[in-house]
Amino acid sequence: MLSWLRGNPQPSDDGRPPAEPALPASWYTSRDLFQMERRAIFSTSWLNVTHKSRFKKPGDYVLFDVWDFSFYLQMNKAGEINAFHNVCRHRAFPIIHKESGNSTVVGCKYHGWSYNTDGELIKAPGYDGVDFDKTKNGLHRIRTHTSPTGMIFVNFASESADVPSFEDYHSGLDNEYLGQFDFNDYEYFYSYSKTGDFNWKAFIDGYTECLHCTLVHRDLSKRYDVPNSVITNSDKRWCRFFIKRREAAAEPTDASLDVSGSDDGFFLFQYPNTGVNCYSPGWYLIRVSPLSVDRTRIDLEYYKRKDISKAEMDEFITFGKQVQTEDFDMCQQLQKNLAGKVYVTGQLNPIKEDGVIFYQQLVRQDVEAQLAREKSGLVEQTEGKIEWMTARCRKDITTCQEVEALDW
């Protein structure tokens, strides 16, 4: 029995803060808990997916995939960004197949159903002689929020689900973007993805601290004063980091530092799966997309400052890729040991790993709350809304639910 594994560690007699228990290894290897995280976290959270600068004119769209949610964002004729599940309402075939493009009408290549930029069904070949209401067969819309600085967030919860508003979920986040970095000086440049054999939380654990940076990220540590990085947790679901250039390390370190226009680093983690890393030459968005309990894809979007050259941006990306490769190698090695049944849990440093403690506690809270709801039978509907639900359709769905509930 681990004597220090307790719910509320107390300070020592001399006032030193106690070490905190990390999430146990089973939370990185359990397939059942992995599926619970989908329901508890990714189905109801406000997820940062991209920046509005990727959309220049009506009809521009970008395809995304988070967990097993395939969806796309598209600018409508009013200049607004809409989000839709990439699922045709006829027979569930994907609507969008390209990573990005432009079309004010998108059509399903299975039976020809077509939709406008507001997701409304405008064409259903062969249905002219059928009692059929197009207005009840538009694409399933996804809740969105666009921040004043252009960050676009989505929430996959159904329309009937009781979920917090963006303002309640990420209170103060818009002000942090506005106060620390001018995203208007940058434009979309490049995207790429990288897949590794580790649990998604292993990557976030590393992202929310820089205690490992001196050993793992040697080049980063040469350029930046990582031992004295500043981490500030919010009372909601985000935290921010500052690191100074080595040549500026002698300057005072202040958590309210305005890093806009400098080469210092400003990082913002938004629970549960997104990081925004900002430097003067460029900034990039990191989306962590779970694929299975021990496999994760990292999607990165790079944005360049408008007045720098392609060569300068290429150098910036090369530097970023090196850091990401180092993180991947670390995560894949630790995942093997997490699955080895030797390590149970560890103790986190409350001073240097407070970002990890902050983030892991949010995971605990969401999973425990979802478990309590499911035990009590209070589970929200996560399926898409069906405006034309009939008795036959309801019976079909109920039959499947009854089969799944059988104890085989």
Distance CA 82, CA 95 (A): 15
Cβ distance 329 to 284 under 8 Å?
no
- Six token digits for residue 359: 């983030």
pLDDT of residue 63: 99
- The Cβ-side half-sphere exposure at 267, using a 13 Å CA radius, reads 21
Residue whose tokens read 């942090």: 176
Q: Render each residue's pLDDT in the chain as its tens digit; 408 residues.
A: 333 333 455 555 677 889 999 999 999 999 999 999 999 999 999 999 999 999 999 999 999 999 989 999 999 999 999 999 999 999 999 999 999 999 999 999 999 999 999 999 999 999 999 999 999 999 999 999 999 999 999 999 988 788 899 999 998 888 766 667 889 999 999 999 999 999 999 999 999 887 777 777 777 767 776 666 666 765 678 887 776 665 544 444 444 444 443 456 788 899 999 999 998 899 999 999 999 999 999 999 999 999 999 999 999 999 899 989 999 999 999 999 999 999 999 999 998 898 899 999 999 999 999 999 998 876 655 556 666 667 766 777 677 767 767 765
DSSP state of 143: E
Fold of 47-169: Rieske Iron-sulfur Protein (2.102.10)
For the CA atoms of 23, 238, 155, 71, the dihedral, rounded to the nearest 10 degrees, stands at -80
pLDDT of residue 178: 62
Residue 282 pairs with which residues in a beta bridge?
304
pLDDT of residue 110: 97
Enter the CATH code of domain 20-44+178-365.
3.90.380.10
* Length of the chain (residues): 408
pLDDT of residue 52: 98
pLDDT of residue 35: 96
pLDDT of residue 160: 77
For the CA atoms of 269, 293, 318, 102, the dihedral, rounded to the nearest 10 degrees, stands at -80
SS (H, E, C) 216-253: HCHHHHHHECHHHCEEEECCCCEEEEEECEHHHCCCCC
* CA 293 remoteness from chain centre: 16
Distance CA 122, CA 133 (A): 11
pLDDT of residue 2: 34
Q: Which helix (H) or strand (E) holds 195?
A: strand 186-196
Indicate the domain borders of the chain: 20-44+178-365, 47-169
